[in-house]
Structure 1
Amino acid sequence: MSLLRAKIKDVFNEPGCEKNRGKDAKARKEGCSKPLTPGAAAGGCAFDGAKIVLQPITDVAHLIHAPLACEGNSWDNRGAASSGPALWRTSFTTDLTELDVVMGQGERKLFKAILEIKEAYGPPAIFVYPTCVTALIGDDIEAVCKRAAEKYGLAVVPVNAPGFVGSKNLGNKLAGEALLEHVIGTLEPDDAGPYDINILGEFNLSGEFWLVKPLLDRLGIRVRACIPGDARYVDIACAHRARAAMVVCSTALINLARKMDERWDIPFFEGSFYGITDTSDALRNIAELLVKQGADPEILGRTELLIAEEEAIAWKKLAAYRPRLEGKRVLLNTGGVKSWSVVHALMEIGIEIVGTSVKKSTVEDKERIKQILKDDNHIFEQMAARDLYAMLSEHKADILLSGGRTQFVALKAKTPWLDINQERQHPYAGYDGMVELVRQIDLAIQNPIWCQVREPAPWDCQPAMGEERPCTKSETVTLHAVQEFSGTTAADFGEC
């Protein structure tokens, strides 16, 4: 536990974070995370954050050393995708019972579970996650993993991020520490080259990274490791031989990027693959970093040719949507890198941003938003559900872009809604992803259902006695559908 405290203290004092550097020494020790509310761990604890970062490593067995409910609450909590192995989709847990806790059988049960997974699946590595229960009873996860690795001849990685130590974001960073301490640098590649890069904080949600990787392939740039999206254990173990890195979500893995730069001289920058301009800038920055690291400068020219070609194709596709969407008002309730990258992307085609949240956003994220919007009045830290509803019901926005938690607020306000968080079903990264995002926004806004749901219900607009009125459009559609289904005629129903 003392080792875990030291790791947490080190993560809180993160020099790569501009916000943290601006604090005094005492404030840095307290960190940025808000204290957890007892009983509110699901979806917001350190264990959940570590699982989010590491589970997309697809050929690894993820073993939760805890009672069954801990694994049930955290399994498959993001829409990451794999191009091959499916082992990460299998749920493993030691399923501790009260008797195991009382009799002190936790470590023995964990050791046995590691053997069972090795014999049944033969993975290249097993990641072991303690939770609140096993951390509080004092099970020595580090010792068990070390002994199992020696006896069974495979990598067994302890991920010390029990839920009670802090927030989900802290768990993200502790997962990066586990990779740095036990995985990265443990293998040497035999094909290292001057065009190898790492991409950190990319989760391949809905297969988004697969829209970006072909662009890098065309430039001859190899992604040595994408951490964690669609990753393989061996690729991450060899990630220390990359020449440059891009950080997509700095709030999650800035500590990993900084320490890899310090240890192995891998410079990094923070960028985004959302939107045409940001995708082009990311490609340019990657090429420039590689040239600084010794790559042939001719890659700069090839990058510009690729950007010109892809931008022309994307803008041609988007031209069809501009007349339909220009001037439409969008409200974003998201956070992190999407708080500014999606804003920039939508403004490129003439969509107006009436508000964007900066929840989970870094100081750099907030500064980017201010530069893009030129107005602080459109930025809010967090908006309560009642405030969202009031804004939407007063028609101050034509569509809400957010995560699944606020979709019902939009539906109650009879306003179109589109999911842009981890549960989304469509990839929005890269040039093709930007076109898909605009297409989905257009489909949501132009959906004819909104005209119907905003009209009064037939039973709310009955005429006074003796009055007649024509049917509304929605009533006519409904009436015809009923007639077709039942075989009746208009005379059977009389007037609306």
Structure 2
Amino acid sequence: MSSLRAKIQDVFNEPACEKNRGKDAKARKEGCSKPLTPGAAAGGCAFDGAKIVLQPITDVAHLIHAPLACEGNSWDNRGAASSGPTLWRTSFTTDLTELDVVMGQGERKLFKAIREIKEAYGPPAIFVYPTCVTALIGDDIEAICKRAAEKYGLAVVPVNAPGFVGSKNLGNKLAGEALLEHVIGTLEPDDAGPYDINILGEFNLSGEFWLVKPLLDRLGIRVRACIPGDARYLDIAGAHRARAAMVVCSTALINLARKMGQRWGIPFFEGSFYGISATSEALRQISQLLVKKGADPEILGRTELLIAEEEAIAWKKLAAYRLRLEGKRVLLNTGGVKSWSVVHALMEIGIEIVGTSVKKSTIEDKERINQILKDDNHIFEQMAARELYAMLSEHRADILLSGGRTQFVALKAKTPWLDINQERLHPYAGYDGMVELVRQIDIAIHNPIWAQVREPAPWDCQPTAGEVRPRTKSETVTLHAVQEFSGTTAGDFGEC
């Protein structure tokens, strides 16, 4: 437990974080977690955050050493996609019971579970996650993993991030520490080249990264490891031989990027693949970093040619939507990198942003939003459901872009809604992803259902003397259904 405490303090003291650098030494040790309000949702624990970062590693067995509920609550909570192995979709847990805890059978049960996974699936590695229960009863996870690795001849990685140590974001960073300590650098690749890069904090939601990787392939740039989206264990083990890195979600893995730079001299930058100009800028910075690390400067010219070609194609496709969407008002209720990257992407085609949340955004994210919107009135730390409903019902936005938690607020306000968070079904990264995002917004806003649901119900209409208009087809169908259900007649209702 003392080693875990030291690791947590080290993660809190993150010099690559602008917000952390502005604190004094005492405040820096306290980290970024805010005190929780009794009765309020914490937004995920450290175990949940670690599982989010590591589960998309597709060929690894993820073993939860805990009672069954811990795994049930955290399994498959990201819509990441795999191009091959499906082992990560299998749920493994030691399923501790009260009797196991009382009788001290936890460590023995864990060792047995590792053996069974080895024999049944033969994975290159097994990641073991303790949770609150197994950490509190004192099971020595690291010792068990070390002994199992020696006996069974495979990597058994302890991910020491029990839920009680902190927030989901802390768990993200502890997952990065586990990769740094037990995985990265354990394998020397025999094909390292001057155009190898790492992508950190990319989860390949709905296969998003597959829209970006072909662009890198055309430039001759090889993704040595995408962590964690669609990753393979051996690729991550050899990730220390990459020449440059891009951090997509800095709040999750900025500590991993910084320490890989310190240990192996891998420079990194923070970027985004959301939006046309953001994607182009990311490609430029990747090429520039590679040139600084010894790659042929001719890649810079090829990158500009690729950008010009892809931007022309994307803008041509977007032209069909510009007239239909220009001036439409969008409210964003999300966080992190999407709080500014999606804002910039939508403004590129003339969509007005009436507000964006920054609840889970870093200081750097907020500064980027200020540079784009140039108006603090469009930025809110968080918005209660009641306030969100009031804003939508007053028609101050034409569509809400958010996660599934607030979709019913939009539906109650009879406002179009589009999923922009991890549960989404469509990929929005890269040039093609931007076109798809705009297409989905257009479909949502111009869906004819909204005109129908905003009409008053036939039984709420009041007749006006001397003015009678015929009912629409939908009103007639609805009225007949009500009559049949209630036993009323047409004369009991007025005309709209």
State the secondary structure of the residue aligned to 1:321.
helix
1:40 to 1:87, Cα distance in 2 relative to 1, 3 A: farther
When normalised by structure 1's length, the TM-score is 0.96
- Change in Cα spacing, 1:149 to 1:494, as seen in structure 2 (3 Å) is same
- Report the alpha carbon displacement of residue 471 of structure 1 after superposing the two structures with TM: 1.3
> Which residues of 2 match residues 147-296 of structure 1 at below 5 A?
147-296=147-296
How far 1:474 sits from its partner (Å)?
Answer: 3.9
What secondary structure sits across from 1:455 in the alignment? coil
Mapped to 1, the partners of 2:366 and 2:27 lie a distance apart of: 21
Once the two structures are TM-superposed, the CA of residue 492 in structure 1 deviates from its matched residue by 14
Distance across 2 between alignment mates of 1:224 and 1:258: 17
Contact 2:47 2:131 (C-alpha < 8 Å) held by counterparts: yes
SS of the equivalent of 1:354 reads: strand
Pairwise CA distance, 1:481: 10
Cα distance 1:40–1:97, how it changes in 2: closer, same or farther (>3 A)? farther
Task: Please list the CA deviations of residues 419-471 of structure 1 after superposition, one character each: whole Å capped at 9, or x if unmatched.
Answer: 00000000000000000000000000000111111111111115379984421
Partner of 1:225: helix, strand, or coil?
strand
Distance in 2 between the 1:201 and 1:29 partners? 24
Query: For each residue in 1:359-408, what CA deviation from the matched residue of structure 2 results, as whole angstroms up to 9, or x when unmatched?
Result: 11111111110000011110111111111111101000000000010101
Q: Describe the SS at the equivalent of 1:401.
A: strand
Task: Give the secondary-structure state (helix, strand or coil) at the position aligned to 1:332.
Answer: strand
Answer whether contact 2:459 2:493 (CA < 8 A) is retained: no
Please give the alpha-carbon distance, in whole angstroms, between the structure 1 residues aligned to 2:460 and 2:143: 69
Contact 1:340 1:368 in 2 (8 A): yes
Shift of residue 350, structure 1, vs aligned partner: 0.1
Distance 1:456 1:278 in 2: 44
Share of identical aligned residues, percent?
Answer: 94
Question: Residues of 2 paired with 1:91 and 1:80: CA distance?
Answer: 15
CA distance in 2, matches of 1:494, 1:101: 69
Q: 1:65 to 1:354 in 2, by over 3 A?
A: same
The CA distance in 1 between the partners of 2:272 and 2:477, in whole Å, is 45
- Once the two structures are superposed, residues 204-243 of structure 1 have per-residue CA deviations (whole angstroms, 9 ceiling, x without a partner) of 0000000000000000000000000000000000000000
Question: Structure 1 residues 85 and 39, CA, compared in 2 at 3 Å: closer, same or farther?
Answer: farther
How many angstroms does 1:43 deviate by? 5.0
Contact 2:43 2:167 in 1 (8 A): no
Task: Tell me, in whole angstroms, the C-alpha distance in 2 between the residues paired with 1:113 and 1:37.
Answer: 38
Q: Secondary structure at the match of 2:115?
A: helix
1:475 positional shift = 1.3
Query: 1:477/1:444 Cα in 2 relative to 1: closer, same or farther (>3 Å)?
Result: farther
Task: Please list the CA deviations of residues 2-38 of structure 1 after superposition, one character each: whole Å capped at 9, or x if unmatched.
Answer: 0000000000000010100000000001000123467
After superposition, the C-alpha distances for 1:320-377 in whole angstroms (9 at most, x for unaligned) are 0000000000000000000000000000000000000111111111111000001111
Length, aligned pairs only = 496
Q: Distance in 2 between matches of 1:448 and 1:485?
A: 27
2:131 pairs with 1:112: no
Summarize the Cα distance change of 1:487–1:223 in structure 2 as closer, same or farther, 3 Å threshold.
farther
CA distance, structure 2, for counterparts of residue 222 and residue 337 of structure 1? 24
* 1:42-66 alpha-carbon deviations (Å, 9 max, x no partner): 8510000000000000000000000
Partner SS for 2:476: helix
Contact residue 36 and residue 166 of structure 1 kept, 8 A: no
Where does structure 2 lack aligned partners over 5 or more consecutive residues? none
Query: Does the aligned pair in 2 maintain the 1:42–1:74 contact within 8 Å?
Result: no
User: Are the aligned partners of 1:42 and 1:73 in contact in 2 as well (CA < 8 Å)?
Assistant: no
Asked whether the 8 Å contact 1:43–1:74 carries over to 2, the reply is: no
Kindly state the Cα deviation for residue 40 of structure 1 after the two structures are TM-superposed.
Answer: 6.6
State the alpha-carbon separation in 2 of the partners of residues 373 and 130 from structure 1: 43
- 1:483, distance to aligned residue in structure 2 (A): 13
Distance 1:434 1:16 in 2: 30
Verify the 8 A CA contact 2:317 2:435 in the aligned structure 1: yes
Whether the 8 Å contact between 2:42 and 2:167 is mirrored in structure 1 is no
Distance 2:67 2:43 in 1: 17
The 8 Å contact of residues 71 and 93 in structure 1, kept in 2 or not, is answered as yes
| 1:489/1:270 CA distance change after superposition, 3 Å | same
Residues 184 and 237 of structure 1 are in contact (CA less than 8 Å); yes or no, is this contact kept in structure 2? yes
Task: Decide whether the 8 Å contact of 1:250 with 1:270 is kept in 2.
Answer: yes
> What is the CA–CA distance in structure 2 between the aligned matches of 1:201 and 1:170, rounded to whole Å?
14
CA–CA distance in 1 between the matches of 2:474 and 2:224? 56
Flag the 1:495–1:29 CA change in 2: closer, same or farther, 3 A. Answer: closer
Equivalent residue of 1:319, what SS? helix
For 1:408 and 1:180, locate their aligned partners in 2 and report how far apart those are by CA, in whole Å. 41
* Helix, strand or coil at the partner of 2:320: coil
Contact 1:36 1:45 in 2 (8 A): no
Distance 2:480 2:304 in 1: 57
In structure 2, the residue corresponding to 1:19 is in which secondary structure? helix
Residues 47 and 163 of structure 2 are in contact (CA less than 8 Å); yes or no, is this contact kept in structure 1? yes
SS at match of 2:340: helix
Deviations 1:267-304 (A, max 9, x none): 00000000000000000000000000000000000000
Q: Structure 1 residues 414, 185: CA separation in 2 closer, same or farther (over 3 Å shift)?
A: same
**Are residue 400 (structure 1) and residue 400 (structure 2) matched?**
yes
- Report the alpha carbon displacement of residue 486 of structure 1 after superposing the two structures with TM: 17
| Cα pair 1:36 1:167 within 8 Å, conserved | no
* Contact 1:161-1:175 within 8 A present in 2 as well: yes
Distance change >3 Å, CA 486–CA 30, structure 1 → 2: closer
Contact kept? 2:131, 2:162, Cα under 8 Å:
yes
Q: Distance between the aligned counterparts of 1:469 and 1:178, measured in 2?
A: 70
Asked if the contact 1:56/1:203 (under 8 Å) is kept, the reply is yes
Q: Is the 8 A contact 2:356 2:380 kept in 1?
A: yes
After superposition, the Cα gap between the structure-2 partners of 1:483 and 1:38, relative to the gap in structure 1 and judged at 3 Å, is: closer
SS in 1 for 2:96: coil
Q: Unpaired runs of 5+ in structure 1?
A: none
The answer to whether the Cα contact below 8 Å between 1:357 and 1:381 also exists between their aligned partners in 2 is yes
